[in-house]
Amino acid sequence: MTLRIEEHTDRVVATLDRPEKRNAIDQDTIDALHALCSSLESHPRTLVVTGSGGVFAAGADIAQLRDRTAEDARRGINATAFIRVSELPMPVIAAIDGYALGGGAELAYAADIRIATPALQIGNPETGLGIMAAGGAAWRLPEIVGAARASEMLLTGRMLDAEEALQLGLVSAVHPAVDLMSAAHAIADRIAANDPLATQHTKRALRTPRAQHPAIEFELQAELFESPEKHRRMTAFLERKANR
């Protein structure tokens, strides 16, 4: 089992679990991610992705990558799974300890929220191995840290530590390793306290290309304005305010 799954009513925790390979992402991991996405697409819940053994994922499995062909590249094996993770209806939180390199970094980039420990080392060293970062880094990373910084990272293969990743907004918070999962669950708790449909619509708006704004907000908000949950929550708010 390369991906350990812990299910809760309002969230799922998925732990990359190949400690002997520093959680390198192999075909079995990709297959498990697809199965997990299928479950979360039909039963939306917040997803927390993390790694075991003080490592998030030290990259894709090099032994498998070495034998992949041009046909494999065109199939987008890792990229397709990471796109599916990114497009899940509810938020995805990456809780990152230690190395998140290559495919591991690209899985983290696919998350909506990234938090880390001081041991974080994140980046894309693919060009040093004769390939490129083709699992989403070339377009996701510029959106996260800006085009100039993404170009520098991808063209040099330089890793960022936790302090620089925080400064650049690649991660939103840094926590001691013993507190990392508690912090991830605290974020999931805040998400769970909100209306699931409003959360899903907000994520959809955030993931929609600029050219489709503001029309997308108008349509999504129109649906929410007719929702019973909007009326219930706003009525409860007004009643609390009146009773203060």
Catalytic (active-site) positions = 106, 126
Torsion of CA 35, 40, 45, 50, to 10 degrees: 30
CB distance 202 to 114 below 8 Å: no
Q: What Å distances lie between residue 27 and 7, 35, 65, 212, CA to CA? A: 23, 12, 10, 35
Print the SS3 string covering 114-129.
EEECCCCEEECCHHHH
Kindly give the pairing relationship between strand 46-51 and strand 11-16.
parallel
How far is the C-alpha of 25 from the C-alpha of 15, rounded, in Å? 12
How far is the C-alpha of 218 from the C-alpha of 224, rounded, in Å? 10
How far is the C-alpha of 96 from the C-alpha of 184, rounded, in Å? 10
Omega of the bond leading into 118 within 30 degrees of 0 (cis): no
How far is the C-alpha of 217 from the C-alpha of 164, rounded, in Å? 33
Strand partners, 46: 11
Amino acid at 131: I
